[in-house]
Structure 1
Amino acid sequence: MEALRLVLLYLHLIGFGLLLGGGIAQYLSARLRINAAMLWGAVIQVVTGLGLSAPLRDGDEPSPAKLVTKAVIALLIFVMVFFSRKRESVHRGHFLAILVLTLVNAAVAVFWR
C-alpha cells in the first residue's frame, strides 16, 4: 500500500506543477486564460487527492479537518478552472484567485500537522 500512496503523491505533485506552472505561464504572457495544463492539473489534483485521503496507512492518516479543508480548496479550484476554460480571457482577480488558492492548498499540505 505504501507504493500506491507514493505513486498517488507523485501524481499529485505533478498536478500541482501543471496547475501552478500553467497559471504562471499564462500570467507572464499577459493573456489571462485557462490553458490545458491548468485544467489537467486541477483534475489530477482532485482525483489523486481523493485517492490520498483514503485510509491506506496504518494509523498515520492526516486529520479529517485537514482533508476536508484541502478537498474544499481543490474542488473550488477545479470549479473555477473548469467553468472558465472556454472563455477568451478571464478576469484578473479570478485568475489570481486560482493561483493563490493553489498556493494555499500546498501550504495547508505542508504546514498543517
Structure 2
Amino acid sequence: MEALRLILLYVHLIGFALLLGGSLAQYFSGRLRINAAMLWGSVIQLVTGIGLSAPLRDGDEPAPAKLATKGVIALLIFVMVFFSRKRETVNRGHFLAIVGLTLVNAAVAVFWR
C-alpha cells in the first residue's frame, strides 16, 4: 500500500505543478484566462487528493480537519477553474484567487501537522 500512496502523492504533485505553472504562465503572458494545464491540474489535484485521503497507512492518517480543509479548498479551485474555462478573459481578482487558493492548499499540506 505504501507504493500506491507514493504514486498518488507523485501524481498529486504533478497536478500542483500543472495548476500553479499554468496559472503563472497565463499571468506573465498578460492575458488572464484558464488554460488546459490549469484545468487538468485542478482535476488531478482533486482526484488524487481523494485517493490520498483514503486510510492507506497503518494508523498514521492525517487529521480529519486537515483533510476536510484541503478538500474544500481543492473543490473551490476546481469549481472556479471549471466554470471559467471557456471565457476569453477572467477577472483579475478571480484569477488571483485561484493562484492564492492553490498556494494556501499547499501551505495547509506542509504546515498543518
The residue number in structure 1 matching 2:82 is 82
Cα shift at 1:4: 0.1
Structure 2: gaps of 5 or more residues: none
Alignment partners' CA distance in 1, 2:30 and 2:61 = 41
Q: Following superposition of structure 1 onto structure 2, how do residues 1-113 of structure 1 map, counting pairs within 5 Å?
A: 1-113=1-113
Cα shift at 1:40: 0.1
Cα shift at 1:83: 0.1
Letter in structure 2 aligned against 1:67: L
Query: TM-score when scaled to structure 2?
Result: 1.00
Alignment partners' CA distance in 1, 2:89 and 2:7 = 35
Q: Secondary structure at the match of 1:56?
A: coil
Cα shift at 1:68: 0.1
Query: TM-score when scaled to structure 1?
Result: 1.00
Cα shift at 1:66: 0.0
Alignment partners' CA distance in 2, 1:82 and 1:62 = 28
Alignment partners' CA distance in 2, 1:109 and 1:12 = 12
The count of aligned residue pairs is: 113
Aligned alpha-carbon RMSD (Å): 0.1
Identity score, percent: 85
The superposition leaves residues 24-78 of structure 1 with CA deviations (integer Å, 9 ceiling, x where unpaired) of 0000000000000000000000000000000000000000000000000000000
Structure 1: gaps of 5 or more residues: none
Alignment partners' CA distance in 2, 1:104 and 1:33 = 21
Letter in structure 1 aligned against 2:42: A
Cα shift at 1:3: 0.1
Letter in structure 2 aligned against 1:47: V
